[in-house]
Amino acid sequence: MGAGMVLLSNLPLLRTYLRAHRFGTCCRSLGIFTDRSLIRRFCMRVITNVYFEGFVLMLVLLSSVLLALDTPSLDDSSRLANVITICDLIFVACFSLEMCLKVGS
């Protein structure tokens, strides 16, 4: 494959890159937060923290265990079902926060 073919195959990517630079959105998160924004720097500091990654990994593992415990034969009024429901709500909140931090960075 020649150099001309490589350049032509990357043409859509090149157009997107040039369009982002023309409108000044290449270095902005959500098109709002610049690299120097306090919110974006805070998000970057949090998501690059080793403890944050370990915490998210622990949440994923615990969520998987609870998913395995939640069977169709489980009685909805049992204590285990109530604990699973509460933990699911906590997991949704934590994973939503993680998503917001990663999108904001």
Percent of the chain with pLDDT over 70: 70
- What value does the mean pLDDT take over residues 16-41? 68
pLDDT grade, residue 99 (50/70/90)? very high
pLDDT at 34 over 60: yes
- In the chain, DSSP finds a helix count (H) and a strand count (E) of 5, 0
Give burial (CB, 10 Å; 0-12/13-18/19+) of 77: exposed
pLDDT in tens, 69-81: 988 888 888 999 9
pLDDT at residue number 63 = 95
pLDDT at 50 over 70: yes
Q: Is 104 within 8 Å of 30 (Cβ atoms)? A: yes
More confident site: 5 or 83: 83
pLDDT at residue number 72 = 86
d(CA 49, CA 59): 16
- What value does the mean pLDDT take over residues 15-21? 60
**How many residues are listed for the chain in this entry?**
105
Secondary structure letter of residue 72 according to DSSP: T
Nearest Cα to 62, choosing from 34, 40, 86? 86
- What value does the mean pLDDT take over residues 83-87? 94
Q: Is 34 within 8 Å of 27 (Cβ atoms)? A: yes
